[in-house]
Amino acid sequence: MANVTIRFYGELNDFLPHTQRQLPLSRSFIGRPTVKEVIESLEVPHTEVDLVLVNGVSADFARQMQGGETISVYPVFKSLDISPVSLVRPKPLKEIRFVLDVHLGKLASYLRMAGFDSLYSTEASDEQLAEISSTQDRILLTFDRVLLKRKILMYGYCVRSRQPREQFMEVVRHFGLEKLIRPFTRCMICNGILEPVPREEVLDRLPEKVKSFAEEITVCRSCGRLYWKGTHYERMADFIKKATSTGQLK
């Protein structure tokens, strides 16, 4: 039986028991497991990893262990471009788009409210979620570490918080989305694109109490739902502002 020494850095320690965090860990194995297999044997999804060093040299997930190696595993670097040296980092996404598991419906609504293309269905299976993420180059958001271990996944993130508003702030900060937010450009219900519509064309569809003040109205291209600036708009705008600037949510 052979051994390797592995250490996780930064937020990757979230996945480890408290007694194992920020420490070199010894891992025993039989055969020649890959780097990916060793990392995920400790319940750390490969989609959370940005750089792996084996004996100080960058390695990919397919690198097989022989025994005696020292493995250093790093999370996403938010301020450094390590693409020239990382062998595990996937190609950069041309557009930030999400697919969310069945437990993150509220987060999906918040991301849509902020203008991000976010697919969500209460009936989506793990297989479907992984397939959509893989074929459409969407970031899979989930609580499920096992789901994120699927080999076909390149882009994924394990959401830590259980509070929807905190989840939104967490995702925005993790992926550096502050400057990409385009509020109220997507339907919060179906993810469709919103576009302006003349008030007179939809006046008969507006609630009576809204007709007196609703001037700027948008309609969803997909489901036809109408949106206008009211107290709900002000609350949501305030929420986005707090989530992306001070980080203080109420």
Nearest Cα to 153, choosing from 163, 140, 172, 143?
140
Question: Which class for 57: exposed (0-12), middle (13-18), buried (19 or more C-beta within 10 A)?
Answer: exposed
Give which of 103, 41, 105 is closest to 71, Cα–Cα. Answer: 41
- What's residue 113's pLDDT? 94
**Helix/strand/coil for 225:** coil
pLDDT at 85: 77
Strand, coil or helix: 118 = strand
Domain boundaries, the chain: 2-74, 97-180, 194-244
The CA distance from 27 to 40, in Å, is 12
Q: How far is CA 131 from CA 128, 153, 190, in A?
A: 5, 8, 20
What is residue 250's predicted lDDT score, i.e. its pLDDT? Answer: 43
pLDDT at 222: 96
Q: Are 125 and 132 in contact (CB under 8 A)?
A: no
Nearest CA to 134 out of 107, 160, 97 is that of 97
pLDDT at 240: 84
Residue whose C-alpha is closest to residue 74's, from 155, 139, 6: 6
- Specify the pLDDT at position 248: 47
Whole-number Cα distances in Å, 102 to 74, 120, 142, 157, 243: 29, 7, 8, 15, 23
Separation between Cα atoms, residue 187 and residue 197, nearest integer Å: 14
Q: Which residue ranges in the chain fall short of pLDDT 50?
A: 247-250
pLDDT of residue 241: 82
**Domain 2-74 CATH superfamily:** Beta-grasp domain (3.10.20.30)
